[in-house]
Structure 1
Amino acid sequence: MHIPFLQRLQGLAGPAVSKVMSSGSGPEKDAAERIIQQVLAGLPELLGAAVVQLASGQALAQYTSSREFHLSKVLGFNTEVVRQQQKALAALQLGPDEQLEEILITLHTQLHLLRLLPDGQRFLYVAVDCRDTNLGIAREVMRTCEQ
């Protein structure tokens, strides 16, 4: 049953849960949604995932499994983490073959991974619970999704 009032009421409660949300339009949005769907297929119990533009820190597509997990609050900070790490690596002058691929943030019960996509303009952010997913599986799923 389609009841517009209830849909608006649910929207006031916070971000959509267990649904891929996207912004923008065109092929970039479609590609971001496809990546999130692939991540979900490989990691169905993930806490959250997003494809983020590095220049703006805005999510092209995102998914969360819990209203308490606010991706919009952390994506800007994660974007800055990627930018600062790129600057640090540039200062080391390691050479053109050494490029940032992935950043891992380890918490007591969660793993947060940030993986640059091949175009270098976007990154994939995934948060998983350590009790549901191991690091190797999460990394492999992210690696296969970027292609």
Structure 2
Amino acid sequence: MASVEVSLKDVMTSVEGALGAAVVDYSSGMALGTLGGGKDLDLTVAAAGNTDVIRAKVRTMELLGLSGQIEDILITLESQYHLIRLVTGRSGNGLFLYLVLDKSRSNLAMARHQLKRVEEQLEV
């Protein structure tokens, strides 16, 4: 099992093109940890905003009567991928991993694979 800090370092070093990562509590919108980002990528603002994305999707699934859990959500921008992966398991309920990738330098399939691996090892 890995701590928030170790998990963020792992995802930032193992995913080609990673620009920033965060572990976020989507009940409060607060980031439990961030790594990377910069003046053009405020991860705490992104964490709060993506909390609304998850809440909206969960509400929509309930209205549609869809069963199952959200694994991840992908937002594609002109030059970036934004990946949101909900953390499952007893210690991760209500948390998500947020990863921002440089679209020109990343492999989306590998990033999703690595994010899943990190999610499975995360211990909060």
TM range (shorter): 0.7 to 0.9
Larger deviation, residues 64-73 vs 52-61: 64-73
Partner of 1:113: 83
Q: In the TM superposition, what is the alpha-carbon distance from 1:82 to its structure 2 partner?
A: 0.4
Partner of 1:85: 57
Q: Which has the larger radius of gyration?
A: 1
Alignment partner of 2:15 out of 27, 43, 50 = 43
Count residues with an aligned counterpart. Answer: 116
Q: Structure 2 vs 1, CA of residues 134 and 44 (structure 1 numbering), >3 Å: closer, same or farther? A: closer
- Identify the structure with bigger relative contact order (alpha carbons < 8 Å, sequence gap 6+): 2
Partner of 2:112: 139
Partner of 1:13: none
- Cα distance between partner residues in 1 of 2:72 and 2:117: 14
Alignment partner of 2:95 out of 122, 130, 139 = 122
Structure 1 consecutive aligned stretches of length 4 or more whose deviation exceeds 3 Å = none
How high is the sequence identity, in percent, across the aligned residues?
34
Unaligned runs of 5+ residues in structure 1 are 1-29
Contact 2:16 2:105 in 1 (8 A): no
Considering only aligned residues, what root-mean-square deviation do their CA atoms show, in Å?
Answer: 1.5
Match runs of 1:10-89 below 5 Å: 31-43=3-15, 45-89=17-61
Contact 1:46 1:65 in 2 (8 A): no
Unaligned runs of 5+ residues in structure 2 are none
- What CA deviation, in whole Å up to 9, does each residue of 1:100-131 have, x standing for no partner? 11110001110000000013310000000111
Greater strand proportion = 2
- What CA deviation, in whole Å up to 9, does each residue of 1:23-67 have, x standing for no partner? xxxxxxx72112202202212541111000011111111011533
- Cα distance between partner residues in 2 of 1:32 and 1:90: 30
